[in-house]
Structure 1
Amino acid sequence: MIDKTTSSSSRRDFIRSTAGAAAGLIAAPALSSASILPSNRAYNLALGVYAAYDKANFLKEAGCTYIEESVSGFLLPATDAQYSKNLEQLHQQHFPIKSYVILLPGTLKTLGPDANHEAILERTELVLKRAKECNSQYVVFGSGASRIIPEGFDRNKAKAQHIELTRRMAPLAEKYGVTIAVEPLNRGETNFINSLAEGVEIVEAVKSPGIKLLCDIYHMLKEDEPATEIVKYGKHIVHCHIAEKENRTPPGVKGDDFRAYLSALKQIRYKGGLSIECFVYNDFEKEAKKGIEVLKQQLADV
């Protein structure tokens, strides 16, 4: 029996639309590549799992310190009344939502001839306002289907459009005190911003404390991006995702060794959150719990 933890239909639509083409604590300032924590000091991170909020109690008992939700599943459900119920549940359970994924649906384009910046900004402001109400820290700006550069469209123009939009998002992020984390995605999901270096181009062009970088180790593995890139761009990283490379399974299913990437996070003295971000489980409770255990062990090993 397949247990789909994502309650949002938009998340499923996003995965289908991109398959072919496609919150933790604030990070401490990154240090140089020579600044390594003492080897005898245990390295711990706040661990979370992307899941619907009805999994919160289980994840708390499994050793997580937060949960990661989706924008459309929690902040922007079908009705305002449902959001009010979600907020009430959050207040009752006192288990924090640190971050939200999928800021934009694929129908809202950040670039290309159909770019719709005004609608995106209107949606983004409501998302940030509600994220603040939930005492959350981050909204992830991945949304790969929204940023696919159409065939034949000038890449430099597309990049300029995306940067301009992100610049207009920045004052909203600062206003509400919620950081927008730019997420590089693998080329199986989108053809724009596929590496930490490309994500940093956007962050550095915007130059705002409200716009930072997300490091997704799954996407790095898919792109054969070395762990040294984390050290290189560590000062921009505020949040992290992780999953196994082959089928985006939780740690412990295939047995992937993430120690090189975790060691790089330790080297930059990263102290933010690390979320297991998977979409489909054969047995959610068993695999999520095992994933947390595996991450704790691999963190201890570095």
Structure 2
Amino acid sequence: MPSTHMQNEHQTSRRTFLKGATGLLATVAGLNVVDPQISSGQPTAAFSLPLGVCTSYDKAGLLQRLGYSFVEESVGRFLIPDAADQYEMNRRLLQKTSVPVRSYIYFFPGSLKSVGPDTHHEAILQRADLALGRASACGSKNIVFGSGGSRAIPDGFDRNKAKAQHIDLCRKMAPLAEKHRVTLAVEPLNRGETNFINSLADGVDIIRAVNNPWFRLQCDIYHMLKEAESPDEIVKYGQYITHCHVAEKESRTAPGVKGDDFRPYFRALKQINYRGGLSLECNWNDFDAEITRGIAVVKQQLADV
């Protein structure tokens, strides 16, 4: 006959089993979904992304010391500067420094029109070919295709015709990106900056018409906030997103200045398993202080999701 001690052990084991089985049934019923990493005692890895800042490359050393991964430069300042020898100087500096230029903004000026009664497609394509070739030589991943002034539809001009003009240009531009192996990232902008391509859906409409894997989508959380665009749109169009920007809604300030909560948008990026870059593209009042606070705020909010 089993001893009293053995009986007690058996009863304890049975209670433990029944408790575990009840928990398992609740989980299967959808009442208690447990993260397997947590249940096994393993820590859940915090969500993180390569972080950068849209600024001049002379800030690279400071950004690196603060923990940023890259600089996002300007096409006009870094790749196609006014001074003939400045690009080569920029490239040599880049080769001596361990901080990459991952991406570029300000693709081409508003004076080069992609839509309207007088377009400048050939000049745009020549500039695109040069910029993409130089970006490739610098080891960069993408160029942001915003250029809101260029694509602004003139008053009274037929919107369908403007859209067709823009798609025609993009269909010619995408093979240049493919040739140089640098992605073009279409950037929706809020309606305060342009009247064409104002949402992720608008951007994807153009991308689908072009149908080239080197022609993708830029997700700018600042513009999404200005347009009251839901984080759900990131999930909906996540397969197209190649690069991201962030800034606070009211005055495009750096994260941490006003205290905006970006976590719903970061949660959506996590949901689509986004692993591209995230740049602070902001209006600066105190650059050094704001980039220091900004990286801490962004890292914490990413970790929170």
Answer yes or no: same fold by TM over 0.5: yes
**Map of 1:251-270 to 2, 5 A cutoff?**
251-270=255-274
Q: Shift of residue 41 of structure 1?
A: 2.9
Task: Give the match for residue 217 of structure 1.
Answer: 221
One of 290, 297, 301 as aligned partner of 2:300: 297
Task: Give the match for residue 73 of structure 1.
Answer: 77
C-alpha separation between the residues in 1 aligned to 2:84 and 2:100?
21
1:82 aligns with 2:89: no
One of 226, 229, 236 as aligned partner of 1:232: 236
Q: TM-score, normalised by structure 1?
A: 0.86
C-alpha separation between the residues in 1 aligned to 2:75 and 2:37?
39
Answer whether contact 1:142 1:182 (CA < 8 A) is retained.
Answer: yes
C-alpha separation between the residues in 1 aligned to 2:237 and 2:52?
23
Secondary structure of 1:68's aligned partner: strand
Q: Shift of residue 93 of structure 1?
A: 1.1
One of 39, 45, 65 as aligned partner of 1:61: 65
One of 161, 166, 174 as aligned partner of 1:162: 166
RMSD: 1.3
Write out per-residue CA displacement over residues 155-206 of structure 1, whole angstroms, 9 at most, x where no aligned residue.
0000000001000001100000000000000000000000000000011000
For this pair of structures, how many residues does the alignment match?
Answer: 266
**Map of 1:10-49 to 2, 5 A cutoff?**
40-49=44-53
C-alpha separation between the residues in 1 aligned to 2:266 and 2:163?
31
Question: Which runs of no fewer than 5 residues in structure 1 stay unpaired?
Answer: 1-35
Answer whether contact 1:37 1:266 (CA < 8 A) is retained.
Answer: no
Secondary structure of 1:80's aligned partner: coil
Answer whether contact 1:48 1:276 (CA < 8 A) is retained.
Answer: yes
Q: Which amino acid aligns with 2:60?
A: A
Task: Give the match for residue 30 of structure 1.
Answer: none
Q: Shift of residue 42 of structure 1?
A: 1.2
C-alpha separation between the residues in 2 aligned to 1:256 and 1:137?
29
One of 134, 146, 162 as aligned partner of 1:130: 134
Identity of aligned residues (%): 61
Write out per-residue CA displacement over residues 18-42 of structure 1, whole angstroms, 9 at most, x where no aligned residue.
xxxxxxxxxxxxxxxxxx9978331
Task: Give the match for residue 279 of structure 2.
Answer: 275
Distance 1:38 1:298, change over 3 A: farther
Task: Give the match for residue 26 of structure 1.
Answer: none
Question: Which runs of no fewer than 5 residues in structure 2 stay unpaired?
Answer: 1-34, 39-43
Which of the pair has the greater relative contact order for Cα pairs under 8 Å at 6+ separation? 1
The structure that has the greater radius of gyration is 2
1:144 aligns with 2:148: yes
C-alpha separation between the residues in 2 aligned to 1:138 and 1:80?
23
